[in-house]
A and B are shown apart, each in its own frame.
Chain A
Amino acid sequence: MKARNVKNLGQILMMSGLLVFLSSCINSNKKKEYADTGEIPVNREMIAELTSPPHVPTPVGKRLAKKLIVKMEIKEQEGEMVNGVRYIYWTFGGTVPGSFIRTRVGDEVEFHLQNHPDNKLPHNIDLHAVNGPGGGAESSFVAPGHEKVFSFKTLNPGLYVYHCATAPVGMHIGNGMYGLILVEPEGGLPPVDKEYYIMQGDFYTKGAYGDRGLQPFDMQKALDENPDYVVFNGHVGAMTGNNAITAKVGETVRLFVGNGGPNLVSSFHIIGEIFDRVHIEGGDRINDIVQTTLIPAGGAAIVEFKVDVPGTFILVDHSIFRAFNKGALAQLKVEGEEDKKIYSGEIEDGIYLPEGGGVQSMPAVKGVAEVDIPARSLEEQMEFGKSTYMQTCFACHQSEGQGIPNAFPPLAKSDYLNADVDRAIGIVLHGLSGEITVNGKKYNSVMTAQTLNDDEIANVLTYVYHSWGNSKKVVTPAMVKEVRDQ
């Protein structure tokens, strides 16, 4: 939220303006304004600091323009999209998105693009910060086992996308070849407390969301613009749980947010936070007080906000099915003192039942597909069950089965769960609504019937029963079938 002492701020600005005026009388030659940023002279060489997401390099501060040497290595490598799903990513610097490059206006960037000998394909780089044919793509087209060097001068401050532009370009971007390059203005961006790097991307796999194994790129889905995954920073859960980004109450956070695409436009939003300032599309213009900012494919935005209260704030693409079902979720965890004036927390919990609560159900699917790979051991049941849990149960029952107080009952050390395994199977199969008591606390909400097959239910329940102090029951597909057939 916006700083409240605007008046005081104005006074400070006036005073500091006076100081600048005074000091400028003393050092009148120190700062020279260049009408044409192309004329800014460079001073010495420097190796650029490159960082992996969600981190960004040190701000440029007051440093002079330099000859900045950027060494970027391209690697085609296997990674994990979500638990149990592997994918061959093509990367700038070994991560999706690629390494963050931080420059200032007037820098002369000497760019070394290195294509690892193990790679199969030629690549290049098109930096939107470059003024020149192909944004550098023309001069950087490099075969495996080779290195290309080109240089450019940063003329316009802003946050820019870079990406591979080798034919077929959609496939190179679709496999993760994008990142951000920041060009800071003279003197740098105003200092803030925390800075992070986030980039959205859509992915197209042969199998549906969560289908296990090594999933190849699906060209037809990419052409149809129908992704299986829409994620922040390359894979599901890149910034949730232990990987969440953090801040403290009262700090100002700046996010460098990009959208690699290849297809989708992002409606970037933080649940429970209002952006104080947004550099629209990564450029010069600032928009104040923004709820959701649109980030085009191949575009970026800088968003800034002060966090006022503690808690977990969820970053989403507000095209909300992408967030809920395709992975476009990240978390910002804020620690510090609560401020009940700004946010009270729950004050009262009453019951409201207009016409009796019926069980809300998803459209019934006849004959849910059998899994390709049945679990053969308890370890596999645990592994597969965890992946189902993270996709299906996690949103309500949370990562450690702790649930959400007053809304969703806990699964950890749950007396209700451990009392009756068939009842638990039945709830997953058919859903549940109405009041229940779990560990001495009353809950009255709705769980929908889940469209999972017998194997998946057996695995996920076995996972739950073997986690968080539960009774270590093993649930078999046969047990699920029995309850299903009742």
Chain B
Amino acid sequence: MPVKLTSYFLLLFALPWVAIWAQEDQMAKVKGGVYTPLYGADSTAVGVSDFYMDLYPVTNSEYLAFVNDHPEWKKSRVKKLFADGLYLRNWESDTKLGKKVVPNAPVTNVSWFAAKKYCECQGKRLPTMDEWEFAARADETMADARNKPGYNKYILGWYEAPHTFKNPIGSTFKNYYGIYDLHGLVWEWTSDFNSVLLSGESRKGNDEDANLFCGSAAIGATDLMNYAAFMRYAFRASIKANYTVQNLGFRCAKNVIDNKGEQELSFNSMK
């Protein structure tokens, strides 16, 4: 009886960990905190909980494996409602990347629906915009490098550089959290990419001009010097969930709280 209990205990204790290791292998833990986004409902500080984020954007070969497992996301079979006509545009065929595509470069020309599905199939999810922005404030050495002159310059530099989507993952810097390529390769989908500026947001009503053009973009922004963030928010505002864009890829994230909760739960139930 004691033996059995021990093995039961071990099993319960070990299983979640195995699962966690398998999934969080290529992820970094980002310790949450409070930050002020460029735009927000009230432009005040936002709390971000701890979360895991993929070290790299999802690559073409990884996405190819996903498509093979889930044929409904093949180029020829995807529903137009979920991905526009440019979906996987550079791929040679449904199951072949072809010469134009670098296998370990980020997958691009994928829609929000596709990216969301991919992450779900990995037991993950897309990061929220706040999570993404929170992690992307980091440079190599600091969690928040936004006030360093070099930080903005670096990002603006790659926004101007053409064809970076063809570069392999890991070819830019490793940031404070150990995450690569948040700046320097491709734009990335977030789960709530359209929450800030789309006028469909009914709670906002019509009293506020939330469009990102001309001077009005400066109204309601918290940091007028953060041109790089302006460009990201502008980009997000220009896309819809079925759009697929050559410079737009994604990576996945995962909650920390839930796992911890599970562990604690299983641990407590043993006591």
Contacts and interface: CB of A to CB of B under 8 A. Distances in A.
Interface in B239-264: 239, 243-247
B89 A137 contact: no
18 contacts: A77-B162, A118-B162, A118-B163, A120-B159, A121-B159, A122-B234, A122-B239, A134-B211, A134-B214, A137-B214, A143-B238, A144-B246, A145-B244, A166-B213, A167-B230, A167-B234, A219-B156, A220-B149
A76 B160 CA distance: 8
A165 B215 CA distance: 8
A146 interface: yes
B237 A168 contact: no
A119 to B, nearest CB: 8
A76 B162 contact: yes
Residue with the highest number of chain A CB atoms closer than 10 Å, among B89, B160, B163 = B160
B245 to A, nearest CB: 5
A184 to B, nearest CB: 27
Contacts, number: 98
B235 A122 contact: yes
Most chain B CB within 10 A, of A88, A169, A175, is at A169
B237 A78 contact: no
A126 interface: yes
Main secondary structure of the interface of B (DSSP, over half): helix
A460 B128 CA distance: 56
Contacts of A77: 162
A169 B214 CA distance: 6
Contact of B247 (A120, A146, A219): A120
A167 B220 CA distance: 13
Contacts of B233: 167
A144 B162 contact: no
Interface in A237-254: none
Interface in B200-240: 211-215, 217-218, 227, 230-231, 233-235, 237-239
Contacts of B161: 88
Nearest to A206: B153
A76 B158 CA distance: 13
B247 A169 contact: no
A78 B162 CA distance: 9
B234 A219 contact: no
A167 B163 CA distance: 22
Nearest to B164: A120
Given A141-B212, A143-B243, A169-B213, A122 B160 contact: no
Contacts of B212: 141, 166-167
Interface in B102-116: none
Contacts of A216: 153, 156-157, 160
B191 to A, nearest CB: 18
Contacts of B235: 121-122, 143
B152 A219 contact: yes
B230 to A, nearest CB: 4
Interface in B148-175: 149, 152-153, 156-157, 159-163
B86 interface: yes
A41 B264 CA distance: 75
Interface in B51-105: 86, 89
Nearest to B38: A167
A165 B227 CA distance: 14
Contacts of A122: 234-235, 237-239
A313 interface: no
A117 B246 contact: yes
Nearest to B246: A117
Nearest to A90: B160
Of residues A134, A142, A216, which shows the largest number of chain B Cβ atoms within 10 Å of its Cβ? A216
Interface string A124-156: 101000000010011001111110000000000
A475 interface: no
A121 B211 CA distance: 16
A311 to B, nearest CB: 41
B160 A88 contact: yes
A126 B215 CA distance: 12
A122 B233 CA distance: 10
Contacts of B156: 171, 216-217, 219
Contacts of A217: 156, 160
A120 B162 contact: yes
B213 A165 contact: yes
Interface string A390-415: 00000000000000000000000000
B162 A88 contact: yes
Interface string A63-87: 0000000000000111000000000
Nearest to B186: A120
B182 to A, nearest CB: 16
A137 to B, nearest CB: 4
Contacts of B162: 76-78, 88, 118, 120
A165 B214 contact: yes
A167 B231 contact: yes
Contact of B213 (A88, A134, A171, A220): A134
Interface in A210-252: 216-217, 219-220
A165 B209 CA distance: 15
Nearest to A220: B149
Closest 4 CB pairs of A and B: A122-B238, A167-B217, A137-B213, A165-B213
B13 to A, nearest CB: 48
A171 B239 contact: no
Given A141-B212, A141-B237, A146 B152 contact: no
Nearest to B211: A138
A273 B149 CA distance: 47
Given A143-B238, A166-B213, 19 more contacts: A76-B160, A76-B162, A88-B162, A117-B89, A117-B245, A120-B162, A120-B247, A121-B231, A137-B211, A137-B213, A145-B86, A145-B244, A145-B246, A166-B234, A166-B238, A167-B213, A168-B234, A171-B227, A220-B149
A168 to B, nearest CB: 4
B245 A143 contact: yes
Contacts of B86: 117, 145
Contacts of B157: 216
B245 A144 contact: yes
Given A118-B163, A141-B237, A169 B211 contact: no
B160 to A, nearest CB: 5
A144 B245 CA distance: 6
